[in-house]
Amino acid sequence: GEDVEQSLFLSVREGDSSVINCTYTDSSSTYLYWYKQEPGAGLQLLTYIFSNMDMKQDQRLTVLLNKKDKHLSLRIADTQTGDSAIYFCAEGGHTNAGKSTFGDGTTLTVKP
Protein backbone atom coordinates (compact mmCIF):
# COMPACT_ATOMS: atom_id res chain seq x y z
CA GLY A 1 0.00 0.00 0.00
CA GLU A 2 0.91 3.66 0.06
CA ASP A 3 3.56 4.69 2.56
CA VAL A 4 5.27 7.95 3.50
CA GLU A 5 8.48 8.02 5.53
CA GLN A 6 10.10 10.93 7.36
CA SER A 7 12.83 11.28 9.93
CA LEU A 8 11.31 12.00 13.33
CA PHE A 9 13.47 14.84 14.66
CA LEU A 10 15.52 17.78 13.42
CA SER A 11 17.26 20.43 15.49
CA VAL A 12 18.77 23.62 14.06
CA ARG A 13 20.04 26.97 15.27
CA GLU A 14 18.03 30.12 14.66
CA GLY A 15 19.04 31.70 11.36
CA ASP A 16 20.24 28.42 9.82
CA SER A 17 18.43 26.59 7.05
CA SER A 18 16.34 23.52 7.87
CA VAL A 19 15.88 20.65 5.45
CA ILE A 20 13.18 18.08 6.13
CA ASN A 21 13.17 14.99 3.95
CA CYS A 22 10.42 12.60 2.95
CA THR A 23 10.12 9.50 0.79
CA TYR A 24 6.89 8.10 -0.61
CA THR A 25 5.87 4.99 -2.47
CA ASP A 26 2.87 5.85 -4.63
CA SER A 27 4.26 6.86 -8.01
CA SER A 28 0.78 7.87 -9.15
CA SER A 29 0.47 10.64 -6.55
CA THR A 30 -0.55 13.82 -8.29
CA TYR A 31 0.09 16.20 -5.42
CA LEU A 32 2.61 16.17 -2.57
CA TYR A 33 2.01 18.35 0.46
CA TRP A 34 3.80 19.83 3.43
CA TYR A 35 1.72 20.61 6.51
CA LYS A 36 2.73 22.30 9.78
CA GLN A 37 1.24 21.40 13.17
CA GLU A 38 1.81 23.51 16.26
CA PRO A 39 1.22 21.97 19.72
CA GLY A 40 -2.41 21.08 20.39
CA ALA A 41 -3.58 22.46 17.05
CA GLY A 42 -4.74 21.21 13.68
CA LEU A 43 -2.68 20.98 10.53
CA GLN A 44 -1.99 23.99 8.37
CA LEU A 45 -1.06 23.55 4.72
CA LEU A 46 2.32 25.17 4.10
CA THR A 47 2.77 24.37 0.46
CA TYR A 48 2.18 21.70 -2.13
CA ILE A 49 3.84 20.64 -5.34
CA PHE A 50 2.28 19.08 -8.37
CA SER A 51 3.94 15.86 -9.43
CA ASN A 52 5.18 17.19 -12.77
CA MET A 53 7.22 19.92 -11.08
CA ASP A 54 10.79 19.66 -9.77
CA MET A 55 10.84 22.67 -7.52
CA LYS A 56 8.55 25.21 -5.96
CA GLN A 57 9.61 28.28 -4.01
CA ASP A 58 7.36 30.30 -1.74
CA GLN A 59 9.11 33.00 0.31
CA ARG A 60 11.33 31.14 2.82
CA LEU A 61 10.10 27.73 1.72
CA THR A 62 11.60 25.66 -1.09
CA VAL A 63 10.19 22.28 -2.06
CA LEU A 64 12.27 19.90 -4.15
CA LEU A 65 10.78 16.82 -5.77
CA ASN A 66 12.81 13.94 -7.20
CA LYS A 67 10.12 11.86 -8.81
CA LYS A 68 12.51 9.14 -9.94
CA ASP A 69 13.62 8.48 -6.36
CA LYS A 70 10.21 9.39 -4.88
CA HIS A 71 11.94 11.88 -2.61
CA LEU A 72 10.52 15.17 -1.41
CA SER A 73 12.23 17.82 0.69
CA LEU A 74 11.22 21.04 2.40
CA ARG A 75 13.86 23.69 2.97
CA ILE A 76 13.13 26.53 5.37
CA ALA A 77 15.55 29.41 4.97
CA ASP A 78 16.52 31.61 7.92
CA THR A 79 14.73 29.35 10.40
CA GLN A 80 13.08 31.17 13.29
CA THR A 81 11.95 29.96 16.73
CA GLY A 82 8.37 30.33 15.50
CA ASP A 83 9.09 27.61 12.95
CA SER A 84 9.37 25.05 15.76
CA ALA A 85 6.57 22.58 15.09
CA ILE A 86 5.82 19.17 13.59
CA TYR A 87 6.02 19.04 9.80
CA PHE A 88 4.05 16.41 7.91
CA CYS A 89 4.70 15.23 4.41
CA ALA A 90 1.65 13.82 2.61
CA GLU A 91 0.91 12.32 -0.76
CA GLY A 92 -2.37 12.13 -2.60
CA GLY A 93 -4.59 14.43 -4.52
CA HIS A 94 -5.97 11.65 -6.69
CA THR A 95 -9.46 12.89 -6.01
CA ASN A 96 -9.21 15.44 -3.28
CA ALA A 97 -6.57 16.91 -0.98
CA GLY A 98 -8.31 15.65 2.12
CA LYS A 99 -7.78 11.99 1.27
CA SER A 100 -4.02 11.81 1.60
CA THR A 101 -1.47 9.49 3.14
CA PHE A 102 0.58 11.19 5.84
CA GLY A 103 4.04 10.55 7.18
CA ASP A 104 4.60 10.34 10.93
CA GLY A 105 5.86 13.93 11.07
CA THR A 106 9.24 15.54 11.72
CA THR A 107 9.56 17.54 14.93
CA LEU A 108 11.64 20.62 14.18
CA THR A 109 13.28 22.31 17.15
CA VAL A 110 14.85 25.72 16.60
CA LYS A 111 17.39 26.77 19.22
CA PRO A 112 18.09 30.45 19.82
Residues that bind other proteins in the complex, under the rule CB under 8 A: 4, 8, 30-31, 35, 40-45, 48, 88, 92-100, 102-105
Identify whether the C-beta of residue 7 lies closer than 8 Å to the C-beta of residue 105: no
Identify whether the C-beta of residue 6 lies closer than 8 Å to the C-beta of residue 73: no
Residue 15: CB minimum distance to other proteins, A? 28
Nearer to other proteins, 11 or 30 (CB): 30
Nearer to other proteins, 10 or 88 (CB): 88
Residue 23: CB minimum distance to other proteins, A? 14
Nearer to other proteins, 68 or 99 (CB): 99
Residue 76: CB minimum distance to other proteins, A? 20
CA distances from residue 68 to 41, 60, 81, 110 in whole angstroms, order as listed = 34, 25, 34, 31
Give the three-class secondary structure for 83.
helix
Residue 93: Cβ within 10 Å count: 18
